[in-house]
A and B are shown apart, each in its own frame.
Chain A
């Protein structure tokens, strides 16, 4: 072969310039997502658009449903069939999905829901960023139910956390919400598309079908799921059910089963929790911030340190379950805690619950549809130090 005919290809690079929404779509594919159902809504639609192109190439299915309720229903249905499945939406659509999200939590059907936050309430500000769904993401459906919410703060993290969302959903058989806002969704950043290992797979039922109990937990507190066609012929319902999967209202049985469900994630907190601390060791003021607000907070901490002010930052990446112990440790030496967030004070409520009355806690709230300016955070830190 002569040298002239050898194509000189640059080493395939994993670096890509991507928006948050495109990174989310590619993260889903890398995690093994093979079904997506959605309904267009700003600022999440690029996820659906990208997946409508990517999924057919990997033998997956994309479908645009008639509304958000149908979208999450189809996602849960696909997951019942054995596929890793995801939907993506924004505030108004996230509200519509809540009933079926609770169904997935109770029936223990793994699925991933992306909620790209925009200004609310109601139709609000479709093209402006906000962080107003922090509490809805935890408590949006009726009744007590377990849920995992991941809150990435950069395009790279959206890619990685989307992959982690699938792993957690499969491992703990629970819906996982990926929560970020319009500004990161449409921000362009360079991402290294690291290929994860083999996709994490839920535990499938094995062994003799006569012995199979669909909701009897394995050692880790999570039951094995029956895949249709494997011979188990089990029943799945949104009615409160016993270990055998059939409805029950017997108080002891309800207590045992709902108790296990609610304890399921608590038991694995250490594996689910994820957070970042920045210079908290000696901090007089600890800023607690999530998502895009944490990026402003990070700059503010740097600016304060340059002025000799001892500031630090604590950033939950797993927003729910909230990393309580880690926050207590991070804020243990602080005189004051500042919670900047693009809502009227939702995460501050949780910070107050966790830290109690021993430390001064203030909020910096922005509800105008603008992100929080680092200078505003710096000024508040300075004020808290006086």
Chain B
């Protein structure tokens, strides 16, 4: 087994140039005009740049969906796996290769519906992984069906009269399930989004970041939410950065969405805990227990 990663940071921070981190031969990308996923991708690569992460040591595992397609654009070791399962694939990879930075890119359907079980258990285990969930409130890739994060009353191709189901708060779910780090940001604040991702990448345990993305083409349009800038501004007006949390206004704006670093703790990281356990087994087992 290789030695775990040590982050050294990008000492001489050169200007960030996204072209150094993407596979230019894959351009133009396939995202719709106005889609927020590309902004999230840029923020991730910016954070990678600032931390000085070597592209050869970066592994990106993504699920299926528009969000899942992003891995193919990153000039790193990239794995586009099956729908809902990227956290499980990434867990195996991270356990045998603690020398890699393993980043998971997933959608709200990928992460919380089909992948919901893997999600809560990955949070609980607290294995060193960085998970970015791009929440566009809809199943984008399959044409705009309702997702576990679609707000009530929203119209989708499978909720033609408006969604009647309540939705998940992914960050609350991650925190309750034991994630070591939980953050959320909107795509309107790119530097802040980059900072949250950077903090997530630096976190020693499982780090979950929810990116509030927008699906203009097949979600915004159906719900008369305007074009992409309007959707993004609406998100901005609905958030409440974590720094404001205790101000007097809170009770009067109960529906705001907290953003920023929402939770960060020092729970033991699972990979390190397992290696420690293995060491104990090895020293205790020698001589005592016979094989066979």
User: CA separation between A37 and B122, bound complex, in Å?
Assistant: 14
Given known pairs A234-B77, A236-B79, the reply for A82 and B282 (CB within 8 Å) is no
B residues 1-17 near A (Cβ < 8 Å) are 1-2
Interface stretch, picked from A66-74, A194-202, A290-298, A322-330, is A66-74
User: CA separation between A276 and B61, bound complex, in Å?
Assistant: 43
Closest residue of A by beta carbon distance from B55 = A233
Residues of B within 8 A of A381 (CB): none
| A70 and B99 contacting across the interface, CB-CB below 8 Å | no
| A226 and B281 contacting across the interface, CB-CB below 8 Å | no
A residues 30-76 near B (Cβ < 8 Å) are 34-35, 37, 53-57, 59, 61, 63, 65-67, 69-71, 73-76
B residues 71-108 near A (Cβ < 8 Å) are 71-72, 75-82, 85, 88-97, 99-100
Residues of B within 8 A of A229 (CB): 2, 56-57, 77, 97, 99-100
Q: Which of A18, A55, A67, A73 contacts B92 (CB 8 A)?
A: A73
Given known pairs A82-B96, A230-B56, A233-B75, the reply for A77 and B91 (CB within 8 Å) is yes
B251 CB-CB contact with A under 8 Å: no
Closest residue of A by beta carbon distance from B75 = A233
Closest residue of B by beta carbon distance from A77 = B92
Given known pairs A56-B277, A233-B56, A238-B80, the reply for A34 and B72 (CB within 8 Å) is no
B274 CB-CB contact with A under 8 Å: yes
Residues of A within 8 A of B57 (CB): 228-229
| B88 and A78 contacting across the interface, CB-CB below 8 Å | no
Residues of B within 8 A of A246 (CB): 26, 72
User: CA separation between A228 and B281, bound complex, in Å?
Assistant: 29
B79, B90, B94, B291 — most chain A CB neighbours (10 Å) = B79
B158 CB-CB contact with A under 8 Å: no
For the residues of B in contact with A, the DSSP-based class is helix
Q: Which of A57, A69, A74 contacts B91 (CB 8 A)?
A: A74
Number of A-B residue pairs with CB-CB distance less than 8 Å in the complex they form: 148
B residues 106-127 near A (Cβ < 8 Å) are 117-118, 121
B170 CB-CB contact with A under 8 Å: no
A81 CB-CB contact with B under 8 Å: yes
A247 CB-CB contact with B under 8 Å: yes
B254 CB-CB contact with A under 8 Å: no
| B82 and A78 contacting across the interface, CB-CB below 8 Å | no
B residues 272-292 near A (Cβ < 8 Å) are 274, 277-278, 281-282, 285, 289, 291-292
A103 CB-CB contact with B under 8 Å: yes
| B56 and A85 contacting across the interface, CB-CB below 8 Å | no
Residues of A within 8 A of B89 (CB): 73-74, 76-77, 80
Residues of B within 8 A of A67 (CB): 117
Binding site for A on B (CB under 8 A): 1-2, 23, 26, 55-57, 59, 61, 71-72, 75-82, 85, 88-97, 99-100, 117-118, 121, 274, 277-278, 281-282, 285, 289, 291-292
Q: List 11 A-B contacts (CB under 8 A).
A: A26-B291, A53-B289, A75-B92, A77-B93, A78-B93, A82-B97, A229-B77, A233-B56, A235-B80, A237-B72, A238-B81
Besides A56-B282, A77-B94, A81-B59, 12 more A-B contacts (Cβ < 8 Å) are A37-B92, A53-B285, A63-B95, A70-B117, A70-B121, A73-B118, A74-B95, A77-B93, A229-B56, A233-B55, A235-B23, A236-B78
Q: Give 8 closest A-B pairs by Cβ, nearest first.
A: A77-B92, A74-B92, A56-B278, A73-B88, A77-B89, A78-B92, A228-B77, A70-B88
